[in-house]
A and B are shown apart, each in its own frame.
Chain A
């Protein structure tokens, strides 16, 4: 299984919206509604932001939303805030209990 493809970096100004894409195949992203997104600040453990494509865990602001179309999943962050600057990773179930992550995207808040 190959890693999911994410842009290396994205940026936006405070208050704007940014979207991070995550491209896989019909064997992972496209085949299951089990895509999750993680936020990771430097030196910290990852934090679950979205699961099952578009569900938000308790405590995650509704500025964070997830979606999927075909083999590509997306994380949208609206109303960007300084504290959103972090690395973001997508993750997908790939069948036969295999899980694959994306390479990560560095979000810079300008």
Chain B
């Protein structure tokens, strides 16, 4: 059974940093492209970042470019999102998700809540 479990969320002050993790199991993680998608409280979904199966290709949404860094460790079956210079508008539940095709995400974790507030 495919499982994605996010962790690392919490309360952080504006300008602070946080590192999210996504532990994968039940599938060959190294063969899958991965994404982070977020959802602000009571709002819609927003794509955040993509990483290829090898980690060699990476893309970001304009809203996080230069502040967030996606990475993966295929040996540890893990995906990461390093978030720096956090802003109030980054407050959201962050989901990791496997990619089925361009813009389609077939397996999702349960999400981890990031709250940016003083």
Contacts and interface: CB of A to CB of B under 8 A. Distances in A.
Interface residues of B, number: 22
Size category, A interface:
20 to 34
User: How would you classify the secondary structure of chain B's contact residues: helix, strand, loop or mixed?
Assistant: strand
Contact of B108 (A36, A46, A94, A96): A46
Contacts of A104: 44-45
Closest 8 CB pairs between A and B?
A51-B104, A93-B103, A36-B104, A99-B47, A93-B102, A45-B108, A97-B59, A34-B102
12 contacts: A3-B44, A45-B110, A46-B108, A48-B104, A51-B104, A89-B45, A91-B45, A93-B102, A98-B59, A99-B50, A99-B102, A103-B44
Interface of B: 35, 37, 44-47, 50, 59, 61-62, 95, 100-106, 108-111
